[in-house]
Structure 1
Amino acid sequence: MDRMLSPKDLSEWLGISLQAVYHLNHSGAGPRYSRVGGKVIRYRLADVEAWLDSRAVERGDRSGAAA
């Protein structure tokens, strides 16, 4: 099974605030997550890595659009 990250773990790993993680969740712009026990949010490391890959920008692409 993949390693699971809490929202706090994710914020530390990405170097963003916990509030920013919750904003990504609420807006639907963040990585996929699971609810454990109905309330507890956890992120599979593979889903986070896939989300980051989907947001990668090719060198020289200044538009900010994903490659």
Structure 2
Amino acid sequence: MTARPDYECDAEADLVGKRWLTRKEAGEYLGVHPRTLANWAADRHGPRYSKPSGKSCMYRLADLDAYLEMHMVHTEEQPEAA
């Protein structure tokens, strides 16, 4: 998984105001290819998603943030918060 930069690019800033993101938008937000999200979904892991139409996947921004938080790596320089 590619780490997100600490700054917000214009594309990401546009996504933050949305509650639900398409797979493409979710991939941009996470810094992974949309096909990676599709593979994760097929393997039954990755961030939570909804299939309101039965075909296309939609991702809640809160679920993407929770997924990133669950996969946070803490180093000696940045210990986990108590």
TM range (shorter): 0.7 to 0.9
Q: How does 1:39-58 map to 2 (within 5 A)?
A: 39-58=55-74
Structure 1, unmatched stretches of 5+, are 61-67
Q: Identity of counterpart residues, as a percentage?
A: 36
Q: How many residues align?
A: 59
Determine the structure 2 residue equivalent to 1:27.
43
Tell me the distance in 2 between the aligned counterparts of 1:35 and 1:45. 15
Structure 2, unmatched stretches of 5+, are 1-17, 77-82
RMSD of aligned residue pairs (Cα, Å): 1.4
Normalization by structure 2: what TM-score? Answer: 0.64
Higher percent of residues as strand:
1
Mark the structure with the bigger radius of gyration. 2
Q: Which runs of 4+ in 1 moved over 4 A?
A: none
Normalization by structure 1: what TM-score? Answer: 0.76
